[in-house]
Structure 1
């Protein structure tokens, strides 16, 4: 039989193990989610640099156009994926002259040197040579790292040596616990159930990459969306995207592909319309239709009113957004 002292030892050890495993789980889960976001970003860069629209801009030496799209992309990630730091550099040579442009774009407060020289950063990078025919038109490089890249044991005054010693002590306590408990308790040999979290994260990455690839392949002059997207309307086989400044782009993709590719908070207004729920409160209001049994979303786009019909299935969601 186990005495009171042994019971106290068992309880104390279980508490140590539970707390330690919980901390490892939280850190591992956060790292897994960040790695998925980094993988999606790398896939987006690779798809974009291979697209016809990007190569056309390289060929025509439209450095400002490429730079604007890069800045929009970095701003989008700053809004929706704040755990990542990004730097992108381009070197483009004019096809018809000796003109050359070197430019770098980074997340706020970052440079390529500071991002890549951080000893605690987990940097994912890539480089694509830009060739049209046999002529080398320059290169395109990107770097993406965890914004909070310092290992957890360095965030305080704890040293790695202390972590090692603590691990050894914990192992000794667990061994002692097993030596006491095996006399009266039956140790289960079953393996713990395998979590589906990693499978879900990989599926999410593959789904987003597939949708982004489809959108880029079908659109030769437009790079997807940015954080200023106000609403999108589907008109087969195109999706019209309307931005807060009144700009309108035409994408060859479905609403579902747009909805499931990017991290904007897009809400279905009806079967053919999506709205950005983070912006519609600033730019619109809900009004009752003449029959007083349904609603309209009235948006102000560059001093013009746009009326969008709210489907029955979306009324509750939209009313909650404006409540």
Structure 2
């Protein structure tokens, strides 16, 4: 699962990086698809209409501002991303009062346009407002022929942007989900393969008890008894070298500790099939005797006694001598989990082999050559 999380972090980083790259690439200037001369002509014609001049003549400042705003809104509606501002200075007929109004397209200001005039290739102009020979003010326009708005900002107010943005985000989430499913499926396949391998080893190697094969092995052992004994000694020596040496003093000390904590006599010998731990007691399950309980930890049992155990999980350990005995140990496949059925005189118990113990358990199955001989029964 840790590997899956790492991959998802990488995939998410790639998606975010691509979005940032797209934002950076599309932040360059673009030229609006608009003839600037047509725009200038429209502004000139607009401020010379009778309705606009009537508002100027009557010193209707709000009316003049509304008229300019209408022109600006029409420019905005034309989906042009370049900024534009129109500034009107109106004075009354007696030249005593004067008002100033400025209207700009969405996102633009007069200061922004004039301070970046070179970069925006700003086009400016001034129109005199006259009634007859009388000058009643001026109209100034500032039109940028380029826009520096990033691509995301340019399309923000366009139709369908919200839908497009939602679809893109959903696609990103879906992509991450599909990547997660793919990684999880890959991990599940590995677990299933491990379980299947253990099942195959268990069925095809450890529990093949064909009668003819058993007779052949028995005869072979009779003929080569000395050689087999020598090999068993070599294997035992190898196992002893792979374990930490435990002194007799240590064993005696732990035995005293266990004895002091229990009033009953208990057997720990080859009869024991497996031991389970339920705090603070350990329960012994054997071939010929009922379940017994005594107070001790599993680690103390493994250290104090000469029976060779292997952990199936944190609470259960199995006598290795019964690995090749189908009458007492049966491997089953349960979905993604590896389980064994342990049989004693008390009954049957289904035990899960945890991930921490699975590799050692499978390795023991693969290396076990005592496929026929029931060591625990001998």
Normalization by structure 2: what TM-score?
0.30
Normalization by structure 1: what TM-score?
0.35
Q: Report the structure, 1 or 2, having the larger helix content.
A: 2
**Bigger radius of gyration:** 2
